[in-house]
């Protein structure tokens, strides 16, 4: 009982953190757009994708996984990506005037702003190592996790002790009161060592996925394939956007958006593995989430659309600008549409993502109609055998009838 309660508390914590991510993005993205209005459509799309799409996708998928398997490391890595994407230091520093001296608060903000991306990239790089079981393929691969943690901690400590500090965009720099490491040293020897370590972590994580693929079962291989496709796309896009696009080029915003799509491909691949191959046994939760999320959006659009339309119609007829009758009629329309809309949406989602379940339901429904109308016992038993073979696919089917 104690374990169950702990798991429940862990699931609640994951959902609370996912909700926190959603709330912070709704506040932070408008502030970012107000401070730095995007010059192009690509820049606007990139800002919204980085500020909303990535944190929401990673955080809510993480909450689903943690809710079912609290000890699975994949869920926590996904949640770390979502939380790292909403650290508000950049927005806060953007609202502040340039300080003339460093205070403890300013030092903390600038330090976090310079290393806030580190947990995000290492969490992404470690997902292939721990997918889908939540741990490396064998204990021999644990050193990759420890190397990534050590590199992240080392970078955070190092960047906090550099001789100067300031925002990540380097719009201003001031002397760091506790800094003693020259910036030239960080931009020189450190980058070489850091690059070697980063390549080692990424290479080992990808190699472990191939090892798991070779040793895994048929279903596990199918799950891994989706992550391999997404990982290959990210490995191609990442160096292109960072090394081949000149800083300040007009295509930089679109390259940033392409990188965002590549990062989003990872949770999408994991979600497909969950939906198609029942990974983590959360396909039922995702099915209901998809159904009621789509239903909520559609009903909301219908409600507000009908209220606005009826207000105009009634305003023209009666001269009353805001009539409570429009709200009453819209509410009745929503009540009437709820059940048929839910059935149609569930039908569509089952056909798209839960084909086997949908086919079995269709076959059983057809058999119920046949059993109601059929009077020949031999024909009914033959139909029953066919239904069992089609839905359950057993090696052998036998029917015993009591005299």
End-to-end CA distance of the chain: 48
Q: d(Cα 19, Cα 1) in Å, to the nearest integer? A: 27
Q: Which of 22, 6, 273, 254 is nearest to 127 (CA)?
A: 273
With a pLDDT cut of 70, the percent of the chain lying above it is 68
**Residue of 30 and 303 predicted with greater confidence:** 30
**Residue of 308 and 117 predicted with greater confidence:** 117
**Residue of 306 and 132 predicted with greater confidence:** 132
pLDDT at 318: 64
3-state secondary structure of 282: coil
pLDDT tens digits along 46-92: 778 788 888 998 998 898 888 888 888 999 999 999 998 888 888 78
Query: For residue 140, what is the DSSP state?
Result: G
pLDDT at 325 over 80: no
Q: How open is the CA angle 18-23-29, to the nearest 5 degrees?
A: 115
CA distances to 42, 148, 165, 178, 182 from 159, rounded to whole Å, are 31, 17, 9, 11, 11
pLDDT at 81: 92
Q: What are phi and psi of 170, to 5 degrees?
A: 55, 35
CA distances to 128, 158, 196 from 144, rounded to whole Å, are 11, 21, 13
**Residue of 192 and 402 predicted with greater confidence:** 192
* Cβ neighbour number for residue 172 with a 10 Å cutoff: 13
pLDDT at 251: 46
Q: What is the DSSP string of 102-129?
A: --HHHHHHHHHHHHTHHHHHHHHHHHHH
Q: d(Cα 351, Cα 347) in Å, to the nearest integer? A: 6
Q: d(Cα 284, Cα 291) in Å, to the nearest integer? A: 11
Q: Once rounded to an integer, what is the mean pLDDT over residues 293-316?
A: 69
pLDDT at 87: 86
- Asked if 263 and 54 count as a contact pair (C-beta separation under 8 A), the reply is yes
- Asked if 302 and 334 count as a contact pair (C-beta separation under 8 A), the reply is yes
Q: Once rounded to an integer, what is the mean pLDDT over residues 187-208?
A: 86
Enumerate helices (H) and strands (E) in the chain, giving the number of each: 16, 2
Q: d(Cα 337, Cα 331) in Å, to the nearest integer? A: 10
pTM (2 d.p.): 0.67
Inter-axis angle of helices 54-68 and 283-318, nearest 10 = 130
pLDDT at 201: 92
Query: For residue 190, what is the DSSP state?
Result: I
pLDDT tens digits along 214-269: 887 777 888 888 888 888 888 888 777 766 554 444 446 667 778 888 888 888 88
Q: What is the DSSP string of 17-49?
A: HHHHHHHHHHHHHHHHHHHS--SSHHHHHHHHI
* Cβ neighbour number for residue 229 with a 10 Å cutoff: 13
Mean pLDDT of the chain: 77
pLDDT at 147: 93
pLDDT at 243: 60
Tokens linked to 183: 């910036």
pLDDT at 250: 41
pLDDT at 280: 58
List Cβ<8 Å contacts ≥24 apart for 122-125.
122/148, 122/149, 122/151, 122/152, 122/201, 123/77, 123/78, 123/80, 123/81, 123/84, 124/77, 124/81, 124/234, 124/263, 124/266, 125/198, 125/201, 125/202, 125/205
pLDDT tens digits along 327-376: 667 677 767 777 777 777 777 766 655 555 555 566 566 666 666 666 66
pLDDT tens digits along 92-143: 887 788 888 888 888 888 888 888 889 998 999 999 999 888 889 888 999 9
């Amino acid at each position: 009982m104690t374990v169950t309660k702990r798991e429940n508390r862990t699931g609640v914590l994951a959902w609370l953190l996912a909700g926190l991510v959603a709330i912070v993005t709704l506040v932070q993205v408008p502030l970012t757009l107000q401070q730095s209005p995007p010059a192009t459509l690509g820049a606007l799309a990139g800002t919204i994708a980085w500020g909303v799409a990535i944190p929401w996708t990673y955080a809510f998928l993480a909450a689903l996984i943690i809710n079912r398997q609290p000890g699975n490391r994949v869920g926590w890595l996904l949640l770390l990506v979502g939380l790292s994407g909403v650290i508000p230091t950049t927005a806060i520093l953007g609202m502040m005037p340039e300080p003339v001296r460093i205070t403890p608060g300013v030092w903390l903000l600038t330090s976090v702003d310079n290393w806030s991306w580190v947990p995000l990239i290492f969490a992404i790089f470690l997902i292939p190592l721990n997918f889908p079981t939540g741990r490396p393929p064998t204990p021999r691969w644990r050193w990759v996790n420890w190397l990534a943690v050590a590199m992240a901690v080392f970078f955070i400590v190092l960047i906090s002790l550099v001789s100067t500090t300031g925002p990540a965009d380097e719009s201003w720099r001031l002397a760091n009161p506790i800094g003693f490491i020259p910036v030239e040293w960080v931009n020189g020897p450190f980058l070489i060592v850091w690059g070697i370590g980063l390549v080692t972590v990424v290479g080992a994580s990808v190699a472990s996925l191939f090892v798991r693929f070779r040793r895994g079962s048929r279903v596990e291989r199918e799950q891994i394939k989706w992550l391999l496709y997404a990982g290959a796309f990210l490995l191609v896009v990442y160096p292109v956007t960072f090394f081949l696009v000149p800083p300040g080029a007009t295509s930089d915003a679109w390259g940033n958006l392409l990188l965002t799509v590549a990062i989003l491909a990872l949770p999408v691949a994991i979600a497909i593995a969950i939906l198609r191959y029942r990974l983590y046994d959360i396909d039922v939760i995702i099915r209901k989430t998809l159904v009621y999320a789509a239903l909520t959006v559609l009903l909301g659009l219908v409600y507000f659309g009908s209220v606005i339309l009826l207000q105009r119609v009634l305003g023209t007829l009666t001269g009353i600008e805001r009539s409570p009758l429009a709200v009453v009629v819209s509410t009745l329309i929503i009540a009437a549409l709820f059940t048929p809309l839910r059935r149609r949406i569930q039908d569509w989602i089952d056909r798209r993502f839960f084909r086997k379940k949908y086919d079995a339901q269709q076959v059983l429904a057809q058999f119920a109609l046949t059993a109601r109308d059929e009077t020949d016992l031999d024909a009914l038993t033959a139909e029953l055998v066919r239904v069992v073979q089609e839905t359950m696919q057993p090696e052998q089917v036998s029917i015993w009838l009591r005299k």
